[in-house]
């Protein structure tokens, strides 16, 4: 009889796991349970539909439901899993009863951290996540005059930019002293914030949320903060993404310091029949003894493929992560890999710094844009620790490159001696990565 692989969660991790299981065992009985109406859409696209950069929500769907039927993957929509019984290798499913599994993959994703302040029951608090809800919220945005975004993390940054693009008076409050305060260095954050000022955004840094305020009709009418009250018609609550671990916790599966499910390099949990992937689990960082939780859809999908493949009898490893990242912020692209100055300082890692202000094309070529590269390297060896980049184009490709460079142990000398493409419409005489590395070597020599 075919083995049964049950996947809880229909996001990038869960669908990756279902596909991974089918890849090694096409005869496996693969079932995916999701609480939502849909699978296989791109939630990452939602802020850009709100910002009118993408014309419709429909374009965010990646595949028709029939595609999963055709692939032999049985998706149970709008179906809640209530508990896991590890001793009997079953799950309890609302409306279906007890369902046995041979292998289980937990991919229950994230929940937004509870802001823990009064007023959380009010209407008008928008937690960006589900596409059907986003479609309804999008209609409501047409009537919104003034909005507050709570926290300028990755989603908050995209939502601030989207609301401002849409012409809504936008405020952002955040307890950190600058945008993306745990990741992004302040010199780069300042450039982003300047472009938000141009867009008419009002920023409130070092500011704690105290309460959501009632407008008298059960809807939000403002927020009370450590810096005073801000009136508004809508609040986007973009607090930290935490592991949605309640099923795993109740099932007695080991949980790490971040709240994420602990997995080994095969994405297996503390239970030998249970795997996990995506935002619900934590992953070791390649450069430090530091578990990370809440990475990107690309990470979730890649972890899912490994988890599902192994759950169906295979043996594949998922590497430690160095986390190249990137996004649009205001009129800029920002990105990097591993550690910038803020994170390295927080971790107590000494570093040598190399910085370059370069350009994306020949100086005289129309459309040329600024590109600033910062490289951090280990003193002495000058091995790359991380990079941060801001610019008008080519940031994602440079961040990918720097992520692998950190992983492979490249040094500032390797990067200073790199060759680069020079062609006026697409590349400047000197690649900013190369110049930053050269400047870093010079700085190391002086220190």
Site size toward a second copy (CB under 8 A) is 65
427 near a second copy (CB under 8 A): yes
Nearer to a second copy, 121 or 363 (CB): 363
Query: DSSP letter string over 368-426?
Result: --EEEEEEEE-TTT-BEEEEEEEESSSHHHHHHHHHHHHHTT-BHHHHHT-----BTTT
399 near a second copy (CB under 8 A): yes
We find the least distance from the C-beta atom of residue 346 to a second copy, in angstroms, to be 21
39 near a second copy (CB under 8 A): no
Instruction: Determine contact, residues 107/280, Cβ cutoff 8 Å.
Output: yes
Nearest-angstrom CA–CA distance, 90 and 7: 12
340 near a second copy (CB under 8 A): no
Name the helix (H) or strand (E) containing 193: helix 186-198
We find the least distance from the C-beta atom of residue 251 to a second copy, in angstroms, to be 29
Site for a second copy in 273-302 (CB under 8 A): 296-299, 301-302
Binding a second copy (rule: CB under 8 A), the pick from 98, 250, 346, 429 is 429
Phi–psi pair at 126, nearest 5 degrees: -105, 115
Sign, CA dihedral 151-157-162-167, equals positive
210 near a second copy (CB under 8 A): no
Nearest-CA neighbor of 103 among 27, 4, 188? 4
Name the helix (H) or strand (E) containing 43: none
3-state helix, strand, coil in the chain (%, to 5): 30, 30, 40
- The CA angle 222-223-229, to the nearest 5 degrees, is 90
Could you give the C-alpha distances from 394 to 174, 268, 371, in angstroms and in order? 29, 36, 9
Site for a second copy in 136-165 (CB under 8 A): none
415 near a second copy (CB under 8 A): yes
Nearer to a second copy, 259 or 394 (CB): 394
Binding a second copy (rule: CB under 8 A), the pick from 40, 213, 327, 342 is 327
We find the least distance from the C-beta atom of residue 115 to a second copy, in angstroms, to be 25
Q: Which residues contact 429 (CB under 8 A, 6 or more apart)?
A: 362, 422
Extended beta strands in 215-309, E state? 220-225, 228-231, 234-237, 241-243, 261-262, 274-276, 281-284, 291-293
Give the torsion through C-alpha atoms of 8, 12, 18, 23, to 10 deg. Answer: -160
Binding a second copy (rule: CB under 8 A), the pick from 147, 149, 155, 333 is 333
We find the least distance from the C-beta atom of residue 16 to a second copy, in angstroms, to be 10
Candidate ranges 105-113, 231-239, 341-349, 426-434; the one touching a second copy (CB under 8 A): 426-434
395 near a second copy (CB under 8 A): yes
Q: What is the CA radius of gyration of the chain?
A: 23
Site for a second copy in 12-31 (CB under 8 A): 12
363 near a second copy (CB under 8 A): yes
Q: Which DSSP category does 123 fall into?
A: B
442 near a second copy (CB under 8 A): no
Binding a second copy (rule: CB under 8 A), the pick from 53, 96, 182, 194 is 53
Sign, CA dihedral 15-16-19-24, equals negative
381 near a second copy (CB under 8 A): no
166 near a second copy (CB under 8 A): no
We find the least distance from the C-beta atom of residue 154 to a second copy, in angstroms, to be 9
Nearest-CA neighbor of 134 among 36, 38, 47, 10? 47
Nearest-angstrom CA–CA distance, 6 and 343: 38
Candidate ranges 197-205, 245-253, 320-328, 340-348; the one touching a second copy (CB under 8 A): 320-328
Nearer to a second copy, 248 or 433 (CB): 433
83 near a second copy (CB under 8 A): no
Binding a second copy (rule: CB under 8 A), the pick from 6, 21, 22, 48 is 48
Nearer to a second copy, 290 or 362 (CB): 362
Nearest-angstrom CA–CA distance, 5 and 27: 11
Nearer to a second copy, 142 or 419 (CB): 419
Nearer to a second copy, 155 or 213 (CB): 155
Nearer to a second copy, 74 or 393 (CB): 393
Residues at the interface with a second copy (CB under 8 A): 12, 42, 44-45, 48, 53-55, 59-60, 62, 296-299, 301-302, 319, 321-328, 333, 335, 362-366, 393-401, 403-405, 407-408, 410, 414-415, 417-427, 429-431, 433
């Amino acid at each position: 009889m075919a083995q049964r692989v049950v996947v809880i969660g229909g996001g990038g991790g869960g669908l990756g796991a279902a596909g991974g299981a089918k890849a090694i065992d096409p005869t496996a009985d693969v079932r995916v349970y999701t609480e939502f109406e849909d699978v296989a859409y791109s939630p990452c696209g939602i802020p850009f539909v709100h910002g009118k950069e993408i014309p419709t929500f429909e374009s965010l769907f990646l595949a028709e439901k029939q595609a999963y039927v055709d692939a032999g993957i049985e998706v149970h929509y709008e179906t809640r899993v209530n508990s896991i019984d590890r001793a009997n290798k079953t799950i309890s499913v609302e409306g279906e009863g007890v369902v046995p599994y041979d292998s289980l993959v937990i991919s229950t994703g994230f929940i937004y951290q509870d802001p823990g302040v009064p007023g959380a029951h009010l209407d008008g608090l928008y937690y960006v996540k589900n596409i059907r809800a986003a479609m309804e919220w999008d209609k409501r945005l047409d009537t919104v005059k003034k909005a507050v975004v709570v926290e300028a993390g990755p989603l908050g940054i995209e939502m601030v930019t989207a609301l401002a693009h849409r012409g809504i008076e936008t405020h952002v409050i955040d307890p950190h002293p600058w945008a993306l305060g745990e990741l992004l260095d302040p010199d780069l954050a300042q450039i982003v914030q300047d472009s938000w000022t141009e867009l008419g955004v009002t920023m409130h840094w070092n500011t704690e949320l105290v309460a959501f305020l009632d407008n008298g009709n059960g809807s939000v009418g403002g927020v009370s903060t450590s810096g005073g009250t801000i009136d508004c018609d809508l609040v986007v609550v973009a607090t930290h993404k935490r592991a949605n671990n309640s099923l795993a916790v109740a099932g007695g599966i080991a949980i790490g310091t971040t709240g994420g499910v602990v997995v080994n390099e095969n994405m297996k949990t503390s239970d030998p029949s249970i795997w996990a992937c995506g935002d619900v689990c934590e992953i070791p960082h390649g450069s430090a003894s530091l578990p990370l939780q809440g990475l990107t859809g690309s990470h979730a999908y890649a972890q899912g493929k490994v988890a599902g493949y192994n759950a169906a009898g295979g043996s594949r490893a998922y590497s430690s992560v160095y986390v190249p990242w990137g996004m649009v912020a205001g009129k800029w692209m920002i990105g990097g890999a591993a550690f910038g100055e803020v994170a390295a300082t927080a971790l107590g890692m000494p570093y040598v710094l190399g910085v370059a202000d370069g350009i994306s094309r020949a100086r005289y070529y129309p459309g040329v844009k600024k590109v600033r590269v910062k490289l951090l390297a280990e003193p002495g060896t000058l091995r790359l620790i991380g990079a941060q980049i801001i610019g008008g184009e080519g940031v994602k490709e440079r961040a990918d490159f720097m992520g692998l460079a950190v992983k492979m142990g490249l040094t500032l000398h390797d990067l200073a001696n790199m060759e680069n493409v020079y062609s006026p419409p697409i590349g400047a005489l000197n690649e900013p990565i190369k110049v930053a590395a050269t400047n870093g070597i010079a700085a190391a020599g002086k220190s």
